[in-house]
Structure 1
Amino acid sequence: MKIHANGLDIRYEISGSGPWVTLSHSLTCDLTMWDQLAVSLAPTFSVLRYDTRGHGGTTAPEGAYSFAQLTADLIGLLDALKIERTHFVGLSMGGMIGQHFALAQPARLNKLVIANSTSRIPPEAGPLWDERIAIARAQGCAGVVEGTLARWFTPGFRAAGADAVARIATQIRNTPAAGYIGCASAIRALDITAKIGTIAAPTLVIAGADDPGTPPAMSEVIASTIPGARLEIIPSASHLSCIEQPEIFNRLVANFLKG
């Protein structure tokens, strides 16, 4: 389904019944990244999944995006669907959107899950993002597939979970270059560690023990800065911990949201 909000046509899916929980995916993925978690949560929750600006079936404007825009897209979607309050689960870029949402609209957030994410991109990582943006501009997202998969999955899972890895590779390849460049520009500028100490929502922070892109140390910063936040580190998982260790990931999220 699609709905017009904040100047975009936003693709979304709703399943289940109960209190609302909104799921926000990683850079170069789409709402299908959450297939397994959505099935797990649907018996207890109304699950809203959506494609971020520039991804999947959502409009992909040219130019750099900002987290103010990405957060406004989310708020516009919730407004259009008349959702007053929601839990929020975000992974990687989705976790960054979740932190901004918690700061912008605290009265609309119940519980927050931030997975495989960070509150700050250090300056020394800037050239890496510049290089990825240049590749996407020259080759489209097909040019970033192999490098992304190498960061996102452990070698063992790339061998044993080939079908799941292939599905994610297709999502990466199909991401519009404008969407990648726009969102990567927002990520490159991320620096909100000094602000997230005001987040009051109960928060679960999840890290993959073997994640080189957003290593556990970045999750430790988030968990130690947001008052009362709990940190869980999933063993034998890299960046897409919800794909590599779905049973553990889904159990952690479900128990936290129900608790």
Structure 2
Amino acid sequence: MSEDLPGRLIEIDGLSTHVVTEGSGPPVMLLAALGSNWFDLDQLADALSSSFTVIRFDRPGYGASEALSRDTWPTLDGEVRRISGVLDALAIDEPVVIAAHSMSSMYAEAFAREHPDRTAGVLMIDGTFVMFPWRVLPTALRVRNCHRAVAVAELLRLPQLLGAAAHDSVYPTPPTGYTAAQRFWICQVFGRADMLRATLVENAAFPTISLDLIALRERDDRTVRAAVTVLAALPAAGLWLRWWRWRHRRYAQILGGVYEEISPANHLVVAQHPADTAFYVERLARRAGHTPPVGP
């Protein structure tokens, strides 16, 4: 079985980058979480594409995008450039709403701070907010350890053996299930060592990215100038609910944004509740004045 790759490949910052666009209307960019690919946002994109031009892209090593060289790793500045590069390649010059899941919220915040003229609004979907930054080992050493771990995994053929099972062990099945095409790409992407390597390396770079974002906040010395919503995914009950709610309310306060929540939900809410997530994207877009024109 073979499937045509959706979207197209565009060179961004020297790397072949997989970009998918669909729908029409004001632009909305979806940023995937650590370890996520374009197809993990399919249901959310489908829910938005009747009103918006929905843009997705795979970061290096994910999906169908070319991987970073082995002596480099993701950086905050690099991901901000990548977002700009995708918008430039698509000739999108109007401000965009960015809906960023989990760790990618750090990239969305940095982009909004550095490019306020290109940002209409930002939705942090169960975003990453580090209250106490830390870094024990140098990033270069952490990244080298990731490459060593992946070399062992390749020797044991773990990506090929696990494939889609690795994806399904983490991601909830969307309400409408998976199409045959989605199943095909899940097997293809999760059967590659590049996917595992990209996930481990991005996680290894996380402490440095976090410290760079905190430094950017201090230099910027203000809340984000675009409309911001912090959307928390909360369990039905328990101590974790109270902690997560407090944490995300604090996150919204730092960004100067509005706090919202979906409950009961888990961290992978974009797959678990795509329609509900789309509702909050649309609500933020209206608050930012980022709405489709009314027809005759």
TM-score (norm 1): 0.80
- The Cα of 1:209 is off from its aligned counterpart by 0.7
- Report if aligned partners of 1:66, 1:185 keep a CA contact under 8 Å in 2: no
The amino acid across from 1:209 in the alignment is L
CA distance in 2, matches of 1:173, 1:235: 33
CA distance in 2, matches of 1:123, 1:146: 33
CA distance in 2, matches of 1:15, 1:163: 20
CA distance in 2, matches of 1:146, 1:120: 30
The amino acid across from 2:207 in the alignment is R
SS at match of 1:4: strand
Percent pairwise identity: 21
Tell me how many residue pairs correspond in the alignment: 250
Question: Could you report, residue by residue, the CA deviation over 1:98-151 in whole angstroms, capped at 9, with x for unpaired residues?
Answer: 011111211100011111112327456968x969947556426859x989977x
- Report if aligned partners of 1:116, 1:215 keep a CA contact under 8 Å in 2: no
Question: Could you report, residue by residue, the CA deviation over 1:59-105 in whole angstroms, capped at 9, with x for unpaired residues?
Answer: 11123221111111111111122111211111012212101111121
**Please, which of 96, 107, 119 is the counterpart of residue 106 of structure 2?**
96
CA distance in 1, matches of 2:249, 2:266: 16
Within 5 Å, which residues of 2 pair with 1:9-88? 9-61=16-68, 62=70, 63-84=72-93, 85-88=95-98
CA distance in 2, matches of 1:187, 1:217: 23
CA distance in 2, matches of 1:70, 1:244: 26
**Please, which of 265, 275, 296 is the counterpart of residue 237 of structure 1?**
265
Q: CA RMSD in A?
A: 3.6
SS at match of 2:29: strand
Quote the residue 1:180 is aligned against. 199
CA distance in 1, matches of 2:51, 2:125: 21
SS at match of 1:198: coil
- The Cα of 1:231 is off from its aligned counterpart by 1.3
- 1:33–1:208: structure 2 CA closer, same or farther, 3 Å change rule? same
- Report if aligned partners of 2:47, 2:278 keep a CA contact under 8 Å in 1: yes
CA distance in 1, matches of 2:149, 2:245: 27
The amino acid across from 2:282 in the alignment is A
Matched, 1:105 2:115: yes
- 1:207–1:135: structure 2 CA closer, same or farther, 3 Å change rule? farther
The amino acid across from 2:205 in the alignment is A
The amino acid across from 2:85 in the alignment is G
The amino acid across from 2:65 in the alignment is T
- The Cα of 1:178 is off from its aligned counterpart by 3.5
Q: Can you give the 5+ residue segments of structure 1 that lack an aligned partner in the other structure?
A: none
SS at match of 2:47: helix
- 1:218–1:6: structure 2 CA closer, same or farther, 3 Å change rule? farther
CA distance in 2, matches of 1:2, 1:178: 21
Matched, 1:202 2:227: yes
